[in-house]
Amino acid sequence: MMASSSESPNRNGEDKTISSRQTEVNKKLKYISLAILVIQNASLILSIRYVRTLPGDHFFTTSAVVMAEVLKVLTCLVIILIQKRGNVKNFAILLYDSIVVQYSDTLKLAVPSLIYTLQNNLQYVAISNLPAATFQVTYQLKILTTALFSVLMLRKSLSKVQWISLVLLFAGVAIVQVEQEGGKQKEALTGANQSYAKGLVSVVVSCLSSGFAGVYFEKILKGSSASVWMRNVQLGIFGTLLGLLGLWWNDGAAIAEKGFLFGYTPMVWGVIFNQAFGGLLVAVVVKYADNILKGFATSFSIIVSTITSVYLFGFHVDLIFTLGAGLVIGAVYMYSLPKPNNSTSSTNTSLSGHNKGGDSELDAFLPNPKTPGKKKGN
């Protein structure tokens, strides 16, 4: 009895120590997640803007979209193979059943895939014609479109704070656009073919397509037992085919003459890898983060993009732009706050490509760091 009583305090002390260490690890993972989200959000826009404004021949954006889709599909296939513990037979059976046998289910992905392919191409057009900071601020309209489509298609309800944040978001973007149209803050253009109007139309259409496709994809995921990785494979197959069709339609003759990889530099490859793996990386990171952290990361990435644009592209920030951007940053953070009833459901789907998926979709591939490990029998 004496030994048993002496072991009990020690065991309690060990449990507290393990719990404390796990809490500390989770805290560090959240900060790491924040850094990754900020870097991914800001670096993609800035790197695309940089490579598209360099002097000389530019790569074909349609080929970059196709290449990103191919890399994304290959990555998801590798993840699925890992989940099957390297069993190629089971892996092949799963693919055949999910893609061929259940062809009607696969065909449902054709619609969002078409829209995502259009969106990815429009992003290149928009970033090529808009200052990086202006694009980053304006592109947050996707939160507004996603919320509206969620209410209409999924019958989701928004809190008063979220509705107020959407109004502030629209007001902030409007202020930035009015200020930009006035011509006072336009980034020094390095290319004669850049068109502000073309870039603005592209980003608005991209936001609309992002909102609809994200909500549509979420609806499909909720009505299916397929994993998010398999869904991304299905999307990627359609995306590659549709991307090749767009490539042939828009740049077919030029690519036949110059080659698919014309203009590809290490920086261009970096952009493609960022676009291909960025969304999947964010999906993994969110496992260790939460919705508030995502909102904070998006807001912080706008600040990073703006500051970097000042040094890289000669972008000038004045009081009006700061006011508009500030409203957008505040709105993004407000929208990510939990509802008063502590509901954690979010209408903010697919922020960077078609990689929507909750924690349940990742449980088969990732450990859950939010729950401290416990030994059975304790």
Q: What is the 3-state secondary structure (H, E, C) of the chain?
A: CHHHHHHHHHHHHHHHHHHHHHHHHHHHHHHHHHHHHHHHHHHHHHHHHHHHHCCCCCCCHHHHHHHHHHHHHHHHHHHHHHHCCCCHHHHHHHHHHHHHHCHHHHHCCHHHHHHHHHHHHHHHHHHHHCCHHHHHHHCCHHHHHHHHHHHHHCCCCCCHHHHHHHHHHHHHHHHHHHHHHCCCCCCCCCCCCCCHHHHHHHHHHHHHHHHHHHHHHHHHHHCCCCCHHHHHHHHHHHHHHHHHHHHHHHHHHHHHHHCCCCCCCHHHHHHHHHHHHHHHHHHHHHHHCCHHHHHHHHHHHHHHHHHHHHHHHCCCCCHHHHHHHHHHHHHHHHHHCCCCCCCCCCCCCCCCCCCCCCHHHHCCCCCCCCCCCCCCCC
Report the alpha-carbon distance of residue 367 to residue 287 in Å, rounded: 9
The one-letter amino acid code at 296 reads F
Evaluate whether residue 131 is within a structural domain. yes
Whether 181 shows a pLDDT value over 50: the answer reads: yes
Q: What number is the average pLDDT over the span 368-374?
A: 43
Q: What is the CA radius of gyration of the chain?
A: 23
Evaluate whether residue 374 is within a structural domain. no
Interval 33-50: pLDDT, tens = 777 778 887 888 888 888
Q: What is the pLDDT of residue 70?
A: 93
Q: What number is the average pLDDT over the span 359-373?
A: 41
Q: What is the pLDDT of residue 27?
A: 67
Q: What is the pLDDT of residue 57?
A: 80
User: Per mean pLDDT, which range of 68-72, 138-142, 294-298 is the poorest?
Assistant: 294-298
Q: What number is the average pLDDT over the span 328-338?
A: 84
Cβ pair 260, 330 in contact under 8 A: no
Q: What is the pLDDT of residue 67?
A: 94
Evaluate whether residue 43 is within a structural domain. no
pLDDT band at 269 (very low <50, low <70, confident <90, very high): very high
Evaluate whether residue 161 is within a structural domain. yes
Evaluate whether residue 254 is within a structural domain. yes
Evaluate whether residue 282 is within a structural domain. yes
Structurally, the chain folds into a number of domains equal to 1
Q: What is the pLDDT of residue 310?
A: 84
Report the alpha-carbon distance of residue 326 to residue 191 in Å, rounded: 29
Q: What is the pLDDT of residue 289?
A: 60
| Largest interatomic CA distance in the chain | 87
Computed from CA positions of residues 101, 105, 110, 112, in that sequence, does the dihedral angle turn out positive or negative?
negative
Report the alpha-carbon distance of residue 189 to residue 8 in Å, rounded: 71
Q: What is the pLDDT of residue 352?
A: 38
Whether 242 shows a pLDDT value over 50: the answer reads: yes
Evaluate whether residue 77 is within a structural domain. yes
Q: What number is the average pLDDT over the span 173-185?
A: 72
Evaluate whether residue 360 is within a structural domain. no
User: Per mean pLDDT, which range of 8-22, 135-149, 260-274 is the poorest?
Assistant: 8-22
Name the more confident of 123 and 31.
123
Q: Shortest CA distance to 282 belongs to which of 361, 344, 370, 353? A: 353
Structural domain span for residue 109: 59-353
Whether 244 shows a pLDDT value over 90: the answer reads: yes
